[in-house]
Amino acid sequence: MGNRSRLRVLLPLTFSIAGCSPVLQGSSVTPKSPVAPATDPGAISRRFVAAINAHDVDSLVSLMSPQYVFVDSLGVRYPFQVAREGWTQYFAMVPDYRIEVDQVTVEGNSVLLMGKAAGTFVPAGGAVEAKNRWETPAAWKALVQGGRLTLWQVFSDNEPIRQVMRAAASPTTSRATGIGGVFFKATDPKKLTAWYVEQLGFPPPKYGVRFAWREEDGGPGSTTWAIFPRNSTYFDPTVAPFMINYRVKNLDEVLARLRRAGARVDEKIDQEDNGRFCWAVDPEGNRFELWEPKTGY
C-alpha cells in the first residue's frame, strides 16, 4: 500500500479524498459553501501552515481560538493553554521543521490538507546534522470557527523521526539505568508489607523495603519496594494502582527529551537527601517517577 493510500485509511470518512485537487503556492481554495473571505477556513488553514513553516509562534497562537485543541498522531490531545510552549519546544527540537501541502479539501468549516512533513532532529545541546534528517507523508485536519482554528490534528507515521531520535540519543549521558522503585496500592499496606517480609524474607522496611545491589561499574545501587494506601494521591493523575521509579543519568536532559516528545512532565523537581526526583506520564496515561540518585544510592 502506498504512502498516500495509508494516509487515506487513517483519515475521517467525512472527507471525500477523491474530491481533493492540487493546490499550488499562491492558489486559492474554494469551499463548497461561500463564506466571508476574512473567515475562509481554507485561507485560515493556509495562514496556519505558513506560520508553522516560518516558526512564527505568535502568529500561530493568534490564529487559535481559546477552544483550540491540538491532536498529535498518537491521538493525544493538547489544549490551547499549552499550545505556545508546545510549538516552541517542537521548533527547538526540529529547527528546520517544514510541511508541504499538495492537496486541500474544504467542507464547510472543516479543512483537510495532505502532503508531507520533514525536518532535522536536534538533541539537547546538539547541532543540526544531515544524518538526523527525516521525512514522512502526512495529513492535517483543521476546524475553523469565526476565523480561528478550534482543531489542528495530525495524521502521520512517527517512526521516521523516532528512528532518528533513537540513533541520536546518547546512552552514556542521559538514559534510564535501572528500576529505582516499585510502588503499588493495597487496602492495608502495613499488614501486606509484613506478609511479604515474613513470607519472602524482605529486608526490614523503613520508608519501604530497600534492596541494595551493585552497578556494572561496581558502584552501589538500590531499588525501593513500597505499598501505598488505596486512597493515596501519589500516583495521580493516573488511575493505575501502581507506579514505577526509573533511575536515570542526567535528569535534566531526560526531562527535556520527554517534553520535546510531547510527554506530560511535572514542572517541579524534588531535591531529597538521596537525589533528585521528577514525574511524567507516558502516552497511555501511566505516571512514572524519575530518580537521579546521589552517589551511594
Please confirm whether the linkage preceding 237 is cis (ω < 30° from 0). Answer: yes
pLDDT over threshold 80, residue 216: no
Q: Find cell 495529513 and name the residue.
A: 139
Q: What is the mean pLDDT of residues 59-63?
A: 97
Domain end position, chosen among 106, 140, 168: 168
CB-based burial of residue 38 (10 Å sphere; 0-12 exposed, 13-18 middle, 19+ buried)?
exposed
Q: What range does the domain containing 246 cover?
A: 175-293
| Cα(185)–Cα(227) distance, integer angstroms | 5
**What backbone torsions phi and psi does residue 178 show, to the nearest 5 degrees?**
165, -175
In three-state secondary structure terms, 120 is strand
The CATH number linked to 247 is 3.10.180.10
44, 110 Cβ separation under 8 angstroms = no
Among the three residues 141, 168, 195, which one is the final residue of a domain in this structure? 168
Domain C-terminal end among 123, 146, 168: 168
Render pLDDT for 85-141 as a digit per residue (tens, 0 to 9).
Answer: 999 989 998 999 999 999 999 999 999 999 999 999 987 767 888 888 999 999 999
**Confidence at residue 294, expressed as pLDDT on a 0 to 100 scale:** 85
Nearest CA to 81 among 258, 256, 264, 235? 264
Q: What is the Cα–Cα distance from 230 to 223, expressed in whole angstroms?
A: 22
Residues 108 and 181 placed together within one structural domain of the fold: no
pLDDT, tens digit (0-9, with 9 covering 90-100), for 26-36: 333 333 444 34
29 and 150 housed in the same domain: yes
3-state secondary structure of 223: strand
DSSP conformation class of 208: B
pTM reported for the whole predicted model: 0.51
The CATH number given to whatever domain includes residue 163 is 3.10.450.50
Of 111, 102, 155, 157, the closest CA to residue 16 belongs to 111
Supply the pLDDT for residue 260: 85
| Per-residue pLDDT at 6 exceeds 60 | no
Domains: count for the chain = 2
pLDDT score for 169: 61
Residues in the chain: 297
